[in-house]
Amino acid sequence: MDTNAILDSGNTAWVIVSTLLVLLMTLPGIALFYGGLVRQKNVLSIIMQCMLTVGVVSILWIAFGYSFVFGSGLPESGSPLGLVIGGFDKVMLHGISTTTLTTGHIPELIFVLFQCMFAVITPALILGAFAERVRFSGFLLFTVLWSILAYIPMAHWVWGGGFLQQMGAIDFAGGTVVHINAGISALVMAVLTGRRYDYRIGHPLMPHNISFVFMGTAFLWLGWFGFNAGSGLAADGIAANAFLVTHLATCVAALTWMGIDWLHNKKPTTVGACTGAVSGLVAITPAAGTVDILGAFFIGLVTPIVCFYMVAVIKPKLGYDDTLDAFGVHGIGGIVGSILTGVFATQAISGEGGPQGALYGDWHQLWIQIAATVISIVFSAAMTFILFQVVDRTVGIRVEKRVEEEGLDIYEHGESAYNR
């Protein structure tokens, strides 16, 4: 921290707005997107899980999560533990006042809240994989444990001075920390939880409200500008580029998925276009601060092709029930985006001395991106497997068959979303 720094009101205003935009991604974005994709009898369970995630993870983050990720106690002490955890020096925001500034000459308090929104949305993404069949109590315990033991370590490794950051891995706004972390965990949870009782391969269970899916996509698209363009913590050229490439990649991805859908299913579907848009948003996330429009175009083109193949071909072949394709879109999209960042990163955006990818002659950066991606996959899978066993043996994960058949809304929450 620079004690002589002067607050930059422009940067501060932009990060405040970005924080609001990222919150919109979970509430109402994910709540509407996932809520529209499930059946009518389970929409409130999705809304409640999103609401719970915002509440409980925010408390954990402010209490100690921020310190464990961005604390400087252990790294500054020279302890090897500083490569895996920040420390205890900022627990309960100790030492952070209204005049404490951080990167970008913004109040550290708003940086705390901006990063809190990333911590909030990541476990919310996972719930799409096991929607319609988990206990609310099991989801609550899993979310608490996963946030502490999976999200917080990964965030420190990549953003808080941990070993992946020291290694030179590029993750501007959450390709590894958010999307690979959540997507791989989603796959593990879907497999371990098991299929829904009425799930039949090749016979998809229809969404109950596609208008909700569209509205959720719109909120995600809007909020993602804060997610990506806000991650530089400044209202500058990098933010402008992140804004531009985020939009371009999303447009290309939405049209690409729609085109594949049209060829494969003979109809250009709304759900397909919305899913394609989200895949583009996911994939451009790690690259938004280092790629130009060429990189954005190809990331937006390649990602939906790979994600569509995973959702339409690989998932039916393997037979796992990833309810809302959290793995197929977020996990795979994050992997593709993270690796392609090592291809398309350019100093024309990152600046002289900044990272650049294989397309511009630096193959070393590509290998770093691949290594960071593999480490993220292995860590997320192993941690989620362990946490599933713990939660399932304590409060339980799967609801009873009768509850699943009649709907989680009535049995878990005593309410129905639609009443005459």
pLDDT in tens, 34-56: 999 999 999 999 999 999 999 99
> pLDDT per residue over 56-102, tens digit each?
999 999 999 999 999 987 777 777 888 889 989 999 999 999 999 99
pTM: 0.95
Is the Cβ–Cβ distance between 277 and 258 less than 8 Å?
no
Calculate ∠ Cα 223-225-228, nearest 5°.
115
Helix (H, G, I), strand (E, B) or coil at 325: coil
Q: CA 310 to CA 327: how far, in whole Å?
A: 9
Q: How many CB atoms lie within 10 A of CB 168?
A: 13
Please write the tens of the pLDDT for every residue from 293-337.
Answer: 999 999 999 999 999 999 999 999 999 999 999 999 999 999 999
- Note whether 152 and 68 are within 8 A (CB): yes
Report the alpha-carbon distance of residue 168 to residue 170 in Å, rounded: 6
What confidence tens digit (pLDDT) does each residue in 352-389 have?
Answer: 889 999 999 999 999 999 999 999 999 999 999 999 99
Q: What is the CATH number that goes with domain 9-413?
A: 1.10.3430.10
Q: What's the CA gap between 184 and 362, in Å, rounded?
A: 28
pLDDT at residue 5, rounded to an integer: 80
Closest residue by Cα to residue 205 from 214, 196, 213:
196
* Distance from C-alpha of 69 to C-alpha of 59, rounded to nearest angstrom: 15
- CA distances (Å), 111 to each of 47, 105, 114, 228, in order? 27, 10, 5, 14
Task: For residue 247, give both structure tokens.
Answer: 């939009």
Q: How are the residues of the chain apportioned to helix, strand and coil, as percentages rounded to the nearest 5?
A: 70, 0, 25
The domains of the chain are located at 9-413
